[in-house]
Structure 1
Amino acid sequence: MTISEASKLSATPPATTARPVIWIGAISTGVIVTNLFAPQILVGLISRSLDMTAWQAGLISTLTLLGYALGLLLLVPLVDLVENKRLILRTLACAILAAVATALAPTTLLLLVATFILGACCAAIQMVVPLVASMVAPERRGQAIGEVMSGLMIGILLSRPAASLIADAWSWRGYYVVSAILMTLLAGALARYLPTLRPATTVSYGALLRSFPRLLREEPVLRVRAWTAALVMASFTAFWAAVALRLPDAPFALDARGIALFALIGVAGAAATPLAGRWGDRGLARPMLIGSHLLIIGSLALCAWAGVIESRIAALLVLSAGTILLDVGITTDQTLGRRAVNLLRPEARGRINGLFVALFFVGGAVGAASASIAWNFGGWTMVCVVAAAFGVLGFVTDIATTTGTS
């Protein structure tokens, strides 16, 4: 008996789900995901507080993200094996404890262990998304996923400025205390509103993990949509990894507070996610995907141009417009990709979501590395060229295949 045959849901989820479930899902993903990116802005404060070496300080973000990657591959598949609501609440409880442990960590070793566990438990995000998707009829699934993804994208974009502001008001430990409090409040809301969904499976956890290669081999939609999601994530991380280096210089001339405020501009792009999901439900996924990749290319051309404009105000306006359009393009691809993979096998939704996110997570790492090389080779303009190249590859994929666009 195959996993597909053995792993049938014990109950058919309702065709529609209450609005509170979608909104709480969006808020939950947005709050939890800040723990993954906040260390990038807090690393200086943490390292000075604990007298860390440069090598140890670099491990803070690395271990947080490594923990998340392992959580995607080792914890998210449990969605296909364990009752979903209980799994999410227990994973979130561990995240709360890890955040508290990080805030109280007296030594470098304890802090690194706590941040690694916190990163792994942030995989709860990818447990919430498929659960919400499973509670919505297929013809409305794109809209629901888009609304949850808007919370996720807002959380990613707000994580750095929010962490900076909280750290300025209290300390870096204060950020993790606030995070623990918010996740505790969310746990109460999730306990009340999340539906119960129990997969009926006779296969083992080991069999679930061993099924990853087969799923990737058998599902072309997963391969194609994860590929373009990885490409746009590479554009996203390349841009945001380098823009903070460019903004202090002319013509932008922003200080640290100005850079934090600039990061808020990207939040406007998250408004595209519900629209992208809704239009995907109406059969417009293919033109939306083509448009999203062309938008990425064009927006990065604007961003490159902004760097050579003499007027400070004009340069900031053009860069802001390019940033918003870039985030619209990226979130559109991400939302439509999520919609496509969540229309695949219901009995493997957890593993499929884990694979999808893990693969575009690799794209993010490639983008960050590419930005570093491009910056050293040709500065801001070269970063924009490289980031746009990822969009070009996405556009070529759109022309080459229609897989995952129905």
Structure 2
Amino acid sequence: MEKELQKPKLSPIVLWIMIVGSGLVVANNYYNQPLLSLMAKDFNVSESKISTIAMLTQIGYAFGLLFIIPLGDLLKRKRMILFDFVFIIIGLLGMYFAPSVTWLFPLSFLIGFSSVIPQIFVPMAAELAAPEKKVQAVGMVMSGLLVGILLSRVFSGFIGEYFGWREVYLIATILMFILWFAIYFFLPEVPPNYKGTYKGLMKSIIDLVKNEPKLRLASFRGATAFAAFSAFWTTLVFHLEEAPFFASSDIAGAFGLIGAVGALAAALVGKANSYLSTSKIIFYSIITMLISWGFFYQFGFTYWGLIIGVILIDLGLQAMHVSNQTIIFSLNAKASNRLNTVYMTSYFIGGSLGTFLAAIAWGKYQWNGVIGVGVFFTALCLLSHVLFDKKD
């Protein structure tokens, strides 16, 4: 019995499957951003209406985090992951064959709802890693996740411009089939941590929110920071279409490659912890995001201003994000998936709100309206940290 419950160790090949898998799966949620303009032209709808696709994907992701991720504490994770892939593939193939824009809305929600596997990998890496390598393992998986987010825009922008937006989803489907086989053959099975019913599991999430102030604060910081981040990335493609850029979707996607520089912060946060407290790392990360909005405001109509701003906003968000997750995973090792559910659900509710408000702001005030949304949420994030963070 003891042998059956013993958890496997985090081997290099398993860690790399988690890193690459996180990037490939989370990319499904972001392929649409550089493609929004192409979709709008293809179906002859407004920019505001087509932006609903990005918002519904993020809302779907938030629902998936809330209702699927807790099952990681209740069920065998490998079996659960493989089953979830069926719905990812249905969603991606549906996008490829969609006959009208109406179909894109529920399919985008389904893709977001099912593409939550990275948020099973992150606590799984923390759980299986040796104590002294926990922060590094989380950082590496988070790096894979953020690189996937950013490079997905490069990939979809290029493929969309030269081959068509539907082909992006066809290629993504093929990648999911390959990843399914890699997980099937190499990922170890991990026994569940929770003994009880799904109803009891969901009730325990509410108890965690009530009893863990650090979880509440980390969740609020994550939500407001990702709201600002999403406001920028959702509207960037529209901004680049205007004067003085007049750029196509492949240029908008290429900014993801620039943002990937910031993703390197995830792997470095563990080293920074040796001479800076987590509280200070988070503070400096939020300040970095605020500075990025200064560049977007002052130099947002130049390529070099956007480039510096993109590096800063990705660097700041990712450093804070990894620090937030390190804090919450240290609260209760046996509730890692449920803790991550609370945090990441809040995170993507914030992202969908930022996307929604940015689309409205763009329609009424263009680029300056988007900057207003971004600065508001980043300032709110900083204020919450300064007022409520208890420095241990």
TM-score (norm 2): 0.87
Counterpart of 2:314 (choices 327, 331, 339) is 327
Q: State the one-letter code of the partner of 1:273.
A: A
Matching of residues 295-314 of structure 1 within 5 Å: 295-307=288-300
Taking a change above 3 Å as real, the CA distance of residues 114 and 365 of structure 1, as seen in their structure-2 partners, is closer
Distance 1:239 1:62 in 2: 13
Q: State the one-letter code of the partner of 1:331.
A: Q
Distance 2:354 2:252 in 1: 21
Taking a change above 3 Å as real, the CA distance of residues 191 and 247 of structure 1, as seen in their structure-2 partners, is same
2:344 is equivalent to residue 357 of structure 1: yes
2:74 is equivalent to residue 87 of structure 1: no
CA RMSD, aligned part only?
A: 3.1
State the partner residue of 2:147: 154
What is the aligned residue count? 391
State the partner residue of 1:223: 216
CA contact (8 A) 2:59 2:352 kept: no
Distance 1:252 1:46 in 2: 20
State the partner residue of 2:137: 144
Unaligned runs of 5+ in 1: 1-8, 309-314
Taking a change above 3 Å as real, the CA distance of residues 98 and 387 of structure 1, as seen in their structure-2 partners, is closer
Q: State the one-letter code of the partner of 1:342.
A: F
Superposition deviation, residue 97 in structure 1: 3.7
Residues 254-282 of structure 1: CA deviation (Å, up to 9, x unaligned) = 44433332332111111111112443477
Distance 2:303 2:47 in 1: 33
Superposition deviation, residue 111 in structure 1: 5.7
State the partner residue of 1:182: 175
Q: State the one-letter code of the partner of 2:67.
A: L
2:6 is equivalent to residue 19 of structure 1: no
Distance 1:57 1:388 in 2: 24
Superposition deviation, residue 215 in structure 1: 1.4
State the partner residue of 1:294: 287
Distance 1:117 1:190 in 2: 21
State the partner residue of 2:116: 123
Residues 350-373 of structure 1: CA deviation (Å, up to 9, x unaligned) = 121122111011211232234345
Q: State the one-letter code of the partner of 1:368.
A: T
Residues 162-215 of structure 1: CA deviation (Å, up to 9, x unaligned) = 223223443333222211111121122222332221125431011112222211
Matching of residues 1-400 of structure 1 within 5 Å: 11=5, 13=7, 17-43=10-36, 60-105=53-98, 113-252=106-245, 254-280=247-273, 284-307=277-300, 315-375=302-362, 379-400=366-387
- Name whichever of 114-123 and 333-342 sits farther off: 114-123
State the partner residue of 1:6: none
CA contact (8 A) 2:59 2:348 kept: no
CA contact (8 A) 1:10 1:200 kept: no
CA contact (8 A) 2:161 2:249 kept: no
Superposition deviation, residue 341 in structure 1: 1.4
Distance 2:246 2:101 in 1: 35
Taking a change above 3 Å as real, the CA distance of residues 51 and 253 of structure 1, as seen in their structure-2 partners, is closer
Distance 1:246 1:49 in 2: 19
Residues 219-272 of structure 1: CA deviation (Å, up to 9, x unaligned) = 112101111111210120122233333334455454443333233211111111
CA contact (8 A) 1:232 1:330 kept: yes
Taking a change above 3 Å as real, the CA distance of residues 11 and 401 of structure 1, as seen in their structure-2 partners, is farther
Distance 1:291 1:55 in 2: 34
Q: State the one-letter code of the partner of 2:88.
A: A
Aligned with 1:344: secondary structure? coil
Taking a change above 3 Å as real, the CA distance of residues 192 and 389 of structure 1, as seen in their structure-2 partners, is same
Taking a change above 3 Å as real, the CA distance of residues 381 and 201 of structure 1, as seen in their structure-2 partners, is closer
Taking a change above 3 Å as real, the CA distance of residues 23 and 278 of structure 1, as seen in their structure-2 partners, is farther
CA contact (8 A) 2:58 2:351 kept: no
Aligned with 1:198: secondary structure? coil
CA contact (8 A) 2:89 2:173 kept: yes
TM-score (norm 1): 0.85
Superposition deviation, residue 22 in structure 1: 2.2
CA contact (8 A) 1:26 1:148 kept: yes
Distance 1:260 1:206 in 2: 42
Taking a change above 3 Å as real, the CA distance of residues 200 and 136 of structure 1, as seen in their structure-2 partners, is closer
Unaligned runs of 5+ in 2: none
Taking a change above 3 Å as real, the CA distance of residues 240 and 62 of structure 1, as seen in their structure-2 partners, is closer
CA contact (8 A) 2:55 2:355 kept: no
Distance 1:190 1:92 in 2: 11
- Name whichever of 208-217 and 192-201 sits farther off: 192-201
